[in-house]
Each structure stands twice: as structure tokens, then as C-alpha cells.
Structure 1
């Protein structure tokens, strides 16, 4: 296992644009649904059961040698009903590819296009870096919760120690979701996980209309 490479790819300081996105948290904070560490935990557990499972499965699938990247990208489009979330995912995918090309020049950007969905870009970069599908799934699931957790500190002024204690408690569930996702990486695109979160889709569309906001999504 390339632990150092995995840590590098999962590092929140990676210049992939992730810091500009709250993964739907900003809209939920504004609606009063997330207001403290306890409600943040509920939000993150929901993300793990839905978005993390989908992202990790698609990232792991994109990392495999036989991956049909165009089909995976279309599959994510079908699983992302919110135009605002599709735009955010592709913006992050484009930024991630740029970072990946700088770190691992073998990244197959021609095969994946200019602005793929973020999980597909992650899988392509992970393959270029020599990671396995299982390791890629861990990076994807990890990023799904650490991004909004960091955003919560900025949006709500939460104690960062308490937020990281929460992430530590969620680590076993994150590993479990990643393991489930990796086992599905060889499935046909139509049979990959399709768990959704309608409230986040609705929130994303409202969030996109705000004139003043801290995060892009």
C-alpha cells in the first residue's frame, strides 16, 4: 500500500479547489439544520451513507485499468440531479486534474476530458499515482467528510479540536463505506451505488442564487 501517496492525495491542502466548497453544508447551516458539533455529526453521517458511498465507488471504478471513464462520468451526471452540484463537481474535477498532472504526469487527462466529475478525476489520478481501487475509495470517502467538517469550523466557529474528535469517531464508518465501495468497483455503471440526498440537492439550488456566500457550493 502506498501510504505516503494516499496521504498526499487525501490531504486537504492539495491545491484542488476543495477548500472553496462546503459540500452543501453552508445551505444547511443557513437553514438552521446544522448549528453545533452534534448536528454536524448527523450531517456527516448522512454524507457517508449517501454521497461518500457513491463518490468512493465511482472513484474506485475509475481507478481500475478497464474503466469506461465516459460511462462513469455520465453515471455520475445521472446521480446528481442538481445542476449546481454537477457544476461544483466538475469544477473540482478540473482543478484536481490540474494538480494531478503536476504531481503525476502520467495522469490520463485525454481519456477523461477537460472537466470530469470529481470522483472520476480522483480515480484517474489515483491510478497514475499507483494506488489501488481500495486506497482510492478511502481517499474519496475521507474527503467527503473532511471538506464539510473544515467548512463547519469556518461557518460556525466550532472548536477545531472537537470537530477533529468527531472525525476520529467517524473514521471506522468511513473505512467501512470505503470497503463497501471498493467491492463494487467492478460492477457495471448502472449497478454502482446511487444513494441520494434530496435535501442537499434542493439546498444547493437555493445556495446558487445567493448574492453573498462564503463557499462556492
Structure 2
């Protein structure tokens, strides 16, 4: 049996605040970079291989930390910050972590979550997912899969709302990413016990720039998504 926490955290109905974040998709749509399912596929694949891989690797490492066999929370938090150069993306990650924490403390009360929050009052979402999955007895691979999946399912859902795309076609596009997701999970699993400074650090400069631009535009006009 897998971790119930992993299934719950990946559920779109989980009250973790993910529905207000598009993962950069709204800005990409506004710039005409994504207009169809054909455009959406490479956007999602690129996001999964970069931002998704970073989050998955840190979620897997957080499971190791939660079980008392790995790195300290302060080091993980600092290294994840360093791999998230855009302030807008750091804010979005911690906002989702804060929202997830409220639900997690009721469902999975644990001193592990208290230890994480003692270091980071508003933990990064990936670290919190890993901590909760670890508390629930789940594996690093499960935590990595949750974070990797959320890295694409959120933007995919946003694409349906922003562009009116066929939800069946969008769902098929997510499923087609299975080989990429599997590769991301495998890499995250292989690095989960490494020191935090040696965890994967692929960059996504375009996503970083669009995240910052989205914050600027959000102040000027009403946007559907916070990020």
C-alpha cells in the first residue's frame, strides 16, 4: 500500500491553495507563448524537467530528513531558496507551503512538522510535502512523484480555465508526460540522501522572468492567478 498522504496531497481538492497558482502558465498565455494543447505540451515538459525536478528532489530529501536519517531542515530550506532565484516563485512556493501546513497539521500532527516550522516559519511547498509523506510512512519516490505531478497538473488545469482547452486533450497531455515524470522521480530518488548542496539545480530563466513579470502585471490589472 502506498502513502495515503501522497494521494491526498496530489488530489486537486486538497485545500493547499494550489488552485490560485498557474506555475507561469498565465503569463505565458498573456504573451501568446501558449495558445493550444500543442503549445502546452512542451511548456509542461520543460517545467517538469526544471522546476519540477528541483521540487521533486527536495521533496524526496525531506522524506529522508523527516525519518531522522538525513539533512537538517535549515540546510534544505536554504538550498531550495538558492535554487529559486525569482522572488515571485519563492513567495509562491512558501504561500502554498503555508496553506498546505494548515491542513497537514490537522490531518498528520507530528513534531516533525514543528521542527520544520521552527526553522522555516513558512516552509517551501516541496519540503512540506516531503515531511508529510515521511510522517505518513511514505517513501522519497512517492513524495517526488507528488511534487513532480503537481508541477504540471496545476498549469494544465490553469490552461483549461484560461484558454478554454478541451479538458480531455489536456488530461491526455499530462498522461503523455509519464516517461519524463518517471525520469524526474528516478533522479530525485538517487539524490535524496545526498547533502543538500548536491541536490539537482537545473535552471529555468524564462520561467523566472515570467514569474517576476506576472507580479508586475498583477498589480496593474486583475489576473486570474496569483502566480
- Report if TM-score (shorter chain) is over 0.5: yes
* 2:116 paired residue among 109, 112, 135: 112
Q: Deviations over 1:40-96 (max 9, x none)?
A: 001001011101111000000011122311111111111111111111110001111
Q: TM-score, normalised by structure 2?
A: 0.92
Cα distance 1:63–1:2, how it changes in 2: closer, same or farther (>3 A)?
same
Q: Unaligned 5+ residue runs, structure 1?
A: none
Inter-partner Cα distance in structure 1 for 2:182 and 2:22:
22
1:49 aligns with 2:49: yes
Provide the secondary structure at the position in 2 that maps to 1:108.
helix
Provide the secondary structure at the position in 2 that maps to 1:209.
helix
**How many aligned residue pairs are there?**
217
Report how far residue 108 of structure 1 moved: 2.2
Matches within 5 A, 1:66-215: 66-106=70-110, 108-113=112-117, 114-210=121-217, 211-215=221-225
Aligned-residue CA RMSD (Å): 1.2
* Of 88-97 and 168-177, the range deviating more from structure 2: 168-177
* Of 164-173 and 193-202, the range deviating more from structure 2: 164-173
Inter-partner Cα distance in structure 1 for 2:180 and 2:62:
22
Contact 1:100 1:107 in 2 (8 A): no
Cα distance 1:214–1:106, how it changes in 2: closer, same or farther (>3 A)?
same
Q: TM-score, normalised by structure 1?
A: 0.96
Cα distance 1:116–1:4, how it changes in 2: closer, same or farther (>3 A)?
closer
Inter-partner Cα distance in structure 2 for 1:9 and 1:89:
15
Cα distance 1:106–1:195, how it changes in 2: closer, same or farther (>3 A)?
same
Report how far residue 190 of structure 1 moved: 1.1
Q: Unaligned 5+ residue runs, structure 2?
A: none
